[in-house]
Amino acid sequence: MTDDTDVGTELTAADIDEVDEVEASSTATGGSLAEDEIIDYITDRPVKLRGNEEVRQRIARALFLEYGISVDDMERDFPIPVSIDGRRRSMKRADIAVFAPGREHTLGNLQRVVVCKPEPKGGRAVTKIRTHDQAQKDLEALQDLLGQDQTPQAQYGMWTNGLDFFFLYRESTRFGVSFEPRADWPIATDSVSGTFGTAVRLRRGEAAMLKTVFRRCHNFVHGNEGLPKDAAFWQFLYVIFAKVHDERESRRLGVPRRFYALPQEPFTSEGRQAIHDRILALFADVKRRYDTFTERDEITLSPRALAFIVGELSSYDLGGTDIDVKGIAYQELVGTNLRGDRGQYFTPRGAVELMVEILDPQEGDIVFDPACGTGGFLRATLRHLLKKWQAEEGTAGLPDTEEQLETHQERLAAYVAGHLYGADFDPFLVRATSMSIMLLTGVTGNVFHMDSLAFPKGHLPGLAEGRRRLPLDEPVVDILMTNPPFGTDIKIEDGDILDQYRGGVAQPWSRNRETGAVEATPGSRVSAMSPEQLFIQRAVEWVRPGGRVGIVLPNGILSNPGPSDEGIRRWILDNCWVLASVELPVETFVVDANVNILTSLLFLKKKTDRERLAADLGHQVDYPVFMAVAEKVGFDRRGNPVYKRRPDGEVITEPTEEVENVRRNGVETIRRILRRRKAVDNDLPEIAKAYRRFRERHPEPGAPR
């Protein structure tokens, strides 16, 4: 629900922009589903959501988006006659069958077979990853489907339960059929026999699959190397950094890649050692190239663990993967392993995107997050700029071509170098954010290890560079976005810090008994303040006059009737124009932070000296403020998705277009399919649209930007 205060009326559903219609076939025109149904990705028809169906849908989508396999070349539940003891035959079904491109769906044209099993309960928990030998009994069913005389072209098989992935390659000789383990299988544009090593074409990641791959790699290290979760995380991140560096050097210099695994290398001692030696030499180059690392940073993984990770990652083109996909995968892994105990509630993605959409950073804006955590606002800013460029180029919604990819990477890297800044008190989060930016842009950016509340004082190693690039006395920041740590148990009591805010928010407030107005209490000093209260003042101080602030705050600051919170609100009104306030439901932070806390996004614009003086002289200006209450954010308290429903309770579906870039013979073409999906019930995108319409009617108060 949204309302704008100048007219005092609630915006109705009729005011909300309609989702752009997608030209669709008769099978993709939207509709509804029963509670236990899902739209099949292959046929675009409703199927029952039971057993292995959820896993099958994720795999089918990945086959199209990652491997470039057309849905027209897939079939679900394809029957294959299986020989039993050489005489009898039993009919078994492949959960997904893949046929030669454009050919009839017959046994003779079958090329790949997928067996899907239900995901284990508690599948998101850290679990030990099995080897091919340990999964041999499960793989017998895949071998039965893959090894028949009637399917001479069937060479590749996959067995998965959504967490375990096993690939087999069928080798046919005059002596019979054998099955070799593989870490992956080739994309559709490669020959079905596959090319591997430095010559293999890399594939762009899809969000669900890349999240799974990141989780599998982390779980393998945690479960098989005896490392705690955080240590496993850093080891995995070192390898990721080596992968990104290798891709960048290969593109830039045209040299052969070193981050690869030949087909049998992950499964032999000699092969694993060869992978180990290549990656350690590559990481040594990384440490020489990037000052993010020190001599103490070492990959200590065993050859077996390192070979597993390289086998999982080597076929991905992380540089070419959509920036949003990489951000989603990275954030889930970081949030699981580095969530702190100092009020570091990492901002949910929907809230981050809403703040970035409302503040709408431009390519020339200096953007800063003084409590950046794992860098959510910084990543979202980069994604926002990239989407702007694609819209200007007329390629919105399409994957970048190779040429666009290179151009956009250079523009993003240039923006990061001169305009994007972060800071955090936690050195581990500083490094995690630097590596995140590296994953997205190829450069580590400007993320400073410093105490933003103590700034410009302090002792942490990023302070000197922070003073030089982000001065308080002559602020240069155009947009500041942050989610400061907050909570009653983490009060700031350091007098040296509080002294910087006295006369601002850090002063005792009381209510005048005669007028009822809140006033500063003379002759008294506060001894403790919550960090989020101080962050309000520091955020405003850090932006230039006319600069804008977006900050996540507990609702009490904006609504509590006590003089302390009212005094802070008065300070805000004296120093800022209030642009917008968006209240978030409790579900927003329950899932990511496991705390019941009501929060709002507050948007401010810093007044100029002249504007403050005019207000002091009584020249008050009335202006409209955008206000909204989000009731749904797309998921419930347990993290389960929440969908839009018809009055009879059935889930509403909506058309969506899936797009993939296919490169054949050096030429890139676009492949599209239209599919339906369940419509997620999320107010935040609609609030962003409503804010844009509001600003069309009511320009920002204060001096123009």
**Mind listing the pLDDT tens digit for each residue in 304-313?**
999 999 999 9
Other CB atoms within 10 Å distance of the CB of residue 13? 7
The pLDDT-based confidence of 406 (bands split at 50, 70, 90) is confident
Q: Which pLDDT tens digit goes with each residue over 230-258?
A: 888 889 989 998 998 999 888 888 889 99
pTM of the model: 0.87
Helix 207-224 to helix 303-313 angle, to the nearest 10 degrees? 180
pLDDT tens profile 571-628: 999 999 999 999 999 888 887 666 778 899 999 999 999 999 998 888 888 999 999 9
pLDDT of res. 485: 87
Q: Tell me which of 333 and 64 has the higher pLDDT.
A: 64
**Cα gap 201→580, rounded to integer Å:** 47
**How many CB atoms within 10 Å of residue 141?**
15
Distance CA 53, CA 245 (A): 38
Q: Distance between CA 694 and CA 108 in Å, rounded? A: 61
Distance CA 343, CA 554 (A): 12
- Collapsing DSSP to helix, strand or coil, 281 comes out as helix
628-664: per-residue pLDDT in tens?
Answer: 999 999 999 888 899 999 998 899 999 988 887 666 6
Report d(CA 569, CA 236) in Å as an integer: 45
Q: How many residues does the chain have?
A: 705
User: Are β-strands 9-11 and 543-554 bridged in parallel, bridged antiparallel, or unpaired?
Assistant: unpaired
| Cα separation, 331 vs 345, whole angstroms | 13
pLDDT of residue 87: 65
Q: Give the lowest-confidence range in 46-55, 403-412, 508-517, 658-667.
A: 658-667
Paired with 669 in beta bridges are: 662
Q: Which of 22-31, 193-202, 285-294, 647-656 has the lowest mean pLDDT?
A: 22-31
Q: How far apart are CA 585 and CA 634, in angstroms?
A: 11
Q: What was the pLDDT predicted at 351?
A: 93
Mean pLDDT for 526-539 is 93
Check residue 674 and give its pLDDT: 85
Residue 532's nearest CA partner among 645, 374, 371, 684 is 371
Q: What is the pLDDT of residue 189?
A: 59
